[in-house]
Amino acid sequence: MRFVLRRLGFFAVTLWAAVSLNFLIPRLMPGNPAQVLVAQHPHLNPQALHALLTLLGGNTNQGLLSQYVEYWGHAVTFNFGISLTTAFGDSVRTMVAQRLFWTLGLVGVTTVLAFVLGTFIGLVSAWKRGSWLDSFLPPIFVVTSAFPYFWMALLSIFVFSVTLGWLPSDNAYTTGLVPGLDWHYVGDVLQHAVLPAFTILITAIGGWILTMRNNVITVLADDYVRMARAKGLRPWRIMWHYAGKNAILPNLTGFAMSLGLVVSGAILVEDVFNYPGVGSLMLSAVSDLDYPVMQALFLLITVAVLLSILAADVITAILDPRTREQS
Amino acid sequence: MSWRRLLHSRKAVAGLVLMGFFIVLAIFPSELSPYDPTAMAFDPGLGASSAHWLGTTSQGQDVLSQLIWGARLTLIIAFGAGGLATVISVIVGVSAAYLGGFADGALSLITDVLLVIPIFPLIVVIAAYLRNTGLGEMIIVLGALGWSYGARQLRVQVLSLRNRDFLMAARVRGERSSYIIAAEIMPTLVSLIMATFFGTAVFSVLTAAGLQFLGLANPTSLSWGNMLYWAQNAEALDTGGALWAIMPGVCIALLGAAFAFLNYAFDEISNPALKPVRRLSRRALRAERHHLVEARAA
């Protein structure tokens, strides 16, 4: 319990840092972005104008501290006003909400898949150390984990979409199709998700395999594994119940850490595939200099990553007495 | 850490060879590239031929020449940002562990916060406010945000050293802290520091390539990420210029792999448990047995 409370405290601090960064960055940048935007949109109503100045700074009538307090009000209620360029006049909140579903589906499923598959391959390759599997797979994944996500995306479009024509490479469903819970639509959505998911999976899985392999190798040198061997237990039982169980827990912490990287990769993958998630929204906001949308998305992504790390932490604390003792 | 052991590791040799190749490209691009990389002197969108091994861009520039020139900027970012991040992580990690108490608490908190905040979206936001991110700004941003993982590992390593006998001995001898850190602690950290450098260099290369691909980092400069940006804008994959869109990515991946291989090699050297097992051949086994028997007889 103490461990969980301490972690909660840490996440509160991290959240505070993320919100404060969001507040500070536009105020520290040269060339006052707020003034630029105000000059571009002379017909904003006073209310929207005030909201914009709170988000970006540049309000000369208000002290920094009261700006900061008001900013927190916006952040807590996730009220980032209206979009200025990407979709002028739309509320940022609804824009983000529409996109969230797609990213959660794509990133969530592929992250879990990469973790499960990577952990399994890592376990087997450490168990069969020195075998052809072990000398063949890890080096390949060293190389694939150095692939830029967006390039892997380009490559898979080139191979599977342009050359072979097997899979669609644009959007999350065929344009014009009516969304609904029928097989036709769901099948279409899944078909569109295959290539982006494959891209994320291939680039993300290498890290899992290598860390799991190293964890298992360390565990295999422990006395209780030698004891299990001496007792003459079946090899697969030692592999799963003795080595695997204990090596997976540190990997779960790694799962949390690498989530930020996967999310970053997903932003680029969504861009290449025109996938209608928060990542591509963020990039169009960046290229249109739509600051309110950018700020909202950075905060949202940070909160999402923090929540998943917290979940992984709590699960580790429940499963692994070692982490509880440490605190 | 010995250099001979480095050369015995297959991963290290693969990494060194690749790295050497790119360093040569980065130092002598004008001698090695067949044409001026920016000159729009040829027919646009040519395929591979003996005159243009990798074809030409939609602007009629030679792809191979651009690729060779692109190595320089990418390596500058890798070494610049990787070096900066490594220096910060050594300073933060070592002083946190050595000072302990409140300083440790504060430095560790900053490290952990930076570790869990998604860095790429943050850098994208910063780049958006900066408008056209220059090379220097890019290196500073990447270095200033990429050091947390290394700092954390170094802190743990130094903490595990703190109560070892050789440090106690130095303290009892009455050495100054600065001497203990520089002459007693640092040498034991060399391989971990190298691993930190390789890790941050890969991170910097990939992140910078992502920013360049999005057109957020001065799209007119010659880099692999920018080549991909222009290739994507010209829809090179759909219009037959596949090599233009594929080769820069191959180079980024190979450079990243070179750093990753060196990283894992240093990891294996500093953690002997991970060293690859050599299967003894039957003849070697027999020789060893023979040796044992002789030794027992003697």
pLDDT (tens digit, 9 = 90+) per residue, A281-313?
888 888 777 777 888 888 888 888 888 888 877
List, for residues B69-95, the tens digit of each pLDDT value: 888 888 999 999 999 999 999 999 988
Q: How far is B63 from chain A (nearest CA, A)?
A: 17
Residue B290's identity, in one-letter code, is: H
Task: Quote the tokens at residue A141.
Answer: 């994944």
Count of beta carbons in the 10 Å neighbourhood of residue B286? 11
Count of beta carbons in the 10 Å neighbourhood of residue B164? 12
- Give the start-to-end residue ranges of the domains of chain A: 1-85+289-327, 92-287
Yes or no: say if B239 and B45 are a contact pair by the CB < 8 Å rule.
yes
Q: How far is A282 from chain B (nearest CA, A)?
A: 8
Give which of B11, B109, B120 to mutate to test A binding, by max A Cβ within 10 Å. B120
Of B121, B128, B252, the CB nearest to A301: B121
CB contact under 8 A, A147 and B249: yes
Q: What percent of chain B clears pLDDT 90, i.e. is strictly above it?
A: 6
CB contact under 8 A, B11 and A287: no
Yes or no: say if B82 and B201 are a contact pair by the CB < 8 Å rule.
yes
Mean pLDDT of chain A: 77
Q: Quick one: which H or E segment has residue A95?
A: helix A92-127
Helix axes A183-220, A132-144, angle to 10 degrees: 120
Tokens 């990429």 correspond to B146
CB contact under 8 A, B124 and A267: yes
Which range among A257-271, B93-107, B132-146, B170-184 shows the weakest confidence by mean pLDDT? A257-271
From chain A, the residues in CB contact with B228 under 8 A are 150-151, 154
List, for residues B51-61, the tens digit of each pLDDT value: 666 666 666 67
pLDDT for the residue numbered B292: 64
Residue A178's identity, in one-letter code, is: V
Of A139, A151, A306, the CB nearest to B116: A306
Selection from A20, A253, A149, A125 nearest residue B120 by Cα = A149
- Residue B40 CA to residue A41 CA, distance in Å, equals 39
pLDDT for the residue numbered A324: 65
How far is residue B11 from each of residues A206, A208, B88, B260, measured CA to CA in Å?
A: 16, 19, 27, 9
Which range among A70-79, B71-80, B143-152, B161-170 shows the weakest confidence by mean pLDDT? A70-79
Residues 67-126 of A with CB under 8 A from B: none
pLDDT for the residue numbered B1: 47
Average pLDDT over residues A10-32: 79
CB contact under 8 A, B122 and A298: yes
Provide the whole-model pTM.
0.80
Q: Quick one: which H or E segment has residue A65?
A: helix A64-76
CB contact under 8 A, B260 and A214: no
- Residue A210 CA to residue A141 CA, distance in Å, equals 8
Tokens 């940006």 correspond to B229
From chain A, the residues in CB contact with B209 under 8 A are 148, 150-151
What does the DSSP assignment read for B80-119?
Answer: HHHHHHHHHHHHHHHHHHHH-HHHHHHHHHHHHHHHHS-H
Partners of residue A91 on adjacent β-strands: A82
- Residue B231 CA to residue B288 CA, distance in Å, equals 59
Q: Would an 8 Å CB–CB cutoff place A49 in contact with chain B?
A: no
List, for residues A183-217, the tens digit of each pLDDT value: 777 777 777 777 888 888 888 888 788 888 878 88
Of residues B3 and A132, more confidently modeled: A132
Of B118, B228, B264, the CB nearest to A264: B118
pLDDT for the residue numbered A153: 83
Selection from B159, B136, B63, B148 nearest residue B111 by Cα = B148
State which residue of chain A sits closest to B111, comparing Cα positions: A14
- Residue B210 CA to residue B205 CA, distance in Å, equals 9
Selection from B9, B52, B124, B63 nearest residue B251 by Cα = B63
From chain A, the residues in CB contact with B277 under 8 A are 129-130
State which residue of chain B sits closest to A34, comparing Cα positions: B129
Of A29, A143, A155, the CB nearest to B257: A143
pLDDT for the residue numbered A252: 76
Average pLDDT over residues B278-284: 57
From chain A, the residues in CB contact with B264 under 8 A are 142, 210
Tokens 């007119």 correspond to B220
Residues 55-74 of A with CB under 8 A from B: none
Of A13, A29, A260, the CB nearest to B118: A260
Give, in words, the CATH class of A92-287: mainly alpha
Selection from A97, A100, A81 nearest residue A89 by Cα = A81
State which residue of chain B sits closest to A14, comparing Cα positions: B113
Is the predicted pLDDT of residue A112 greater than 80, yes or no?
yes
State which residue of chain A sits closest to B14, comparing Cα positions: A139
Yes or no: say if A212 and A206 are a contact pair by the CB < 8 Å rule.
no
From chain B, the residues in CB contact with A257 under 8 A are 115-116, 149
List, for residues A35-61, the tens digit of each pLDDT value: 666 666 666 677 777 777 777 766 666
How far is residue B100 from each of residues A20, B180, B251, B282, measured CA to CA in Å?
A: 27, 15, 43, 54
Residues 171-200 of A with CB under 8 A from B: none
- Residue A140 CA to residue A24 CA, distance in Å, equals 42
List, for residues A141-152, the tens digit of each pLDDT value: 767 777 788 888
pLDDT for the residue numbered B81: 93
CB contact under 8 A, B206 and A146: yes
CB contact under 8 A, A162 and B126: no
CB contact under 8 A, A154 and B256: no
Q: How many beta-carbon pairs below 8 A join chains A and B?
A: 156
CB contact under 8 A, A158 and B273: no
CA B154 to chain centre: 17
The length of chain A, given as a count of residues? 327
Q: How far is B117 from chain A (nearest CA, A)?
A: 6
List, for residues B246-263, the tens digit of each pLDDT value: 888 888 888 888 888 888
- Residue B237 CA to residue A228 CA, distance in Å, equals 55
Alpha helical stretches, state H, chain B? 3-8, 10-27, 29-32, 63-99, 101-116, 119-130, 135-145, 148-161, 165-172, 177-179, 186-213, 224-233, 242-270, 282-297
pLDDT for the residue numbered A36: 67
How far is residue B61 from each of residues A251, B33, B46, B66, measured CA to CA in Å?
A: 47, 12, 10, 8
Q: Would an 8 Å CB–CB cutoff place A140 in contact with chain B?
A: no
Selection from B205, B155, B191, B244 nearest residue B22 by Cα = B205
CA atoms B150, B152, B155, B159: torsion sign: negative
Helix axes A149-156, B224-233, angle to 10 degrees: 40
* ipTM of the prediction: 0.80
From chain B, the residues in CB contact with A272 under 8 A are 232
List, for residues A208-261, the tens digit of each pLDDT value: 888 888 788 877 777 887 888 888 888 788 888 877 777 787 777 777 667 777
The Cα angle at residue B58 between residues B52 and B63, in degrees rounded to 5 = 35
Yes or no: say if A243 and A220 are a contact pair by the CB < 8 Å rule.
yes
List, for residues A161-174, the tens digit of each pLDDT value: 777 767 777 766 66
Of residues B16 and A89, more confidently modeled: B16
CB contact under 8 A, B228 and A154: yes
Q: How far is A234 from chain B (nearest CA, A)?
A: 23
CB contact under 8 A, A148 and B206: yes
